[in-house]
Amino acid sequence: MMKYLLSCKCSDNCKGWILLFLRVIIGIVFLAHGSQKIGTGGAGVAQFFGSLGIPLSLFSAYVVMYVEFLGGIMLILGLFTHWASKFLAVVMLVAFFTVHISKGVFVSNGGFELVAVIFGGLLVIMTFGAGELALEKYLKRNNLTN
């Protein structure tokens, strides 16, 4: 029985679908956050970034707003997922070190648990790819990329 439990190979059968699920969920989160930031305007985000000591706060605000928004769309579609994940992971690292690490673990206190989980998910996507139903798979399959 123990041998059976230890030899479970769930990932062999459904890895692509798990990656799809992870990609879409994280994409929705970033699309929502990017949309929210775009909706409030760059000035408000820049003011917050300035209070954190982030240099070039207005420029940084627009970069983050559009990396989150466009990166979320790219993850949902499964297009350029490796690069979208990299850029979004950088955003999460900056958020981790500038805002969340000093507040402890729990998100209810502004802590880093959500940022860390999202970062981990992005690492999985960067490492293992887009999974099933990805636009980039369709483009490769039909020789529409180099």
Residues of the chain short of pLDDT 70, as ranges, are 1, 5, 10-12, 145-146
Q: What is the DSSP letter of 103?
A: G
Q: What is the pLDDT of residue 12?
A: 67
Q: What is the DSSP letter of 111?
A: -
pLDDT, tens digit, for every residue of 76-112?
999 999 999 999 999 999 999 999 999 999 999 999 9
**For residue 122, what are the CA distances in angstroms to 21, 29, 60, 115?**
12, 12, 21, 10
pTM for the full predicted model: 0.88
